[in-house]
Amino acid sequence: MRCPFCKEDDDKVIDSRSTDNGRCIRRRRRCLRCQRRFTTYERIEEGVKLSVIKRDGSRVPYNRDNMLLGIQRAAYKRPIPFERIEQVVDEVEEFLVSHFEKEVSSQTIGEKIAEVLRRVDKVAYVRFASVYRQFEDVGDFIEEAQDVIERSAHDIPGQQNLFEGKSDS
Ligand SMILES: [Zn+2]
């Protein structure tokens, strides 16, 4: 592990214990360069287990692939590497996991994606927001970048709802 203080990747585990009913291992480590201590947590990787509440009130299981697909469509022909798109998804998932326990609205997911995407690529953001807006009223997402929408309007991706399990493929 890279030391959070001096960035050296050379440490020694000084204590290791199970927490969270055995679902998590907590390790105390000491950096062999600066001697400072830090803690790491090791967990089994679990997918996000949330119900997504659709606009009509029905629920579907959260699906990472749907989100990935939606963002990929918005990023069509944009210079965004796939890993970057995955990072967007990871960031949204991190937000979801830390803020919601059982269920989350599709609108909340959409807004979060838009927020993250906006920092990555303006055009993809606007495309995403404009598609998204057709089924969830998110008001003024679009206004600030009307010109970008118009320039990219010819290749706005599919008009379907990205989070309600429908697909045009
Ligand atoms: Zn260090």
Q: Could you report the per-residue pLDDT of 93-130, keeping only the tens digit for each?
A: 989 988 998 999 888 888 899 999 999 999 999 888 87
CA of 34 to the centre of ligand 1 (A): 4
Answer whether residue 167 is part of any domain: no
Is residue 24 one of the residues assigned to a domain? yes
81-101 mean pLDDT: 90
Please check whether residues 38 and 88 belong to one and the same domain: no
Report residue 168's pLDDT band, with 50, 70 and 90 as the boundaries.
Answer: very low
Mean pLDDT, residues 142-152: 48
- 1 located within any domain: no
Model pLDDT, residue 158: 47
pLDDT score for 142? 40
**Same domain for 120 and 94?**
yes
**69 and 122, same domain (yes or no):** yes
What pLDDT does residue 131 have? 74
**Judgement on whether residues 55 and 39 belong to the same structural domain of the protein:** no
Print the domain residue range for 118: 51-155
Cα 38 to ligand 1 centre (Å): 9
Q: Is residue 106 situated within a structural domain? A: yes
3-state SS, one letter per residue, for the chain: CCCCCCCCCCEEEEEEEEECCCCEEEEEEEECCCCCEEEEEEECCCCCCCEEECCCCCEEECCHHHHHHHHHHHCCCCCCCHHHHHHHHHHHHHHHHHHCCCEEEHHHHHHHHHHHHHHHCHHHHHHHHHHHHCCCCCHHHCHHHHHHHHHHHHHCCCCCCCCCCCCCC
- Say if residue 19 is in the same domain as residue 78: no
Q: Is the pLDDT of residue 49 over 90?
A: no
Q: Is 166 among the domain residues?
A: no
**Å from CA of 94 to ligand 1 middle:** 27
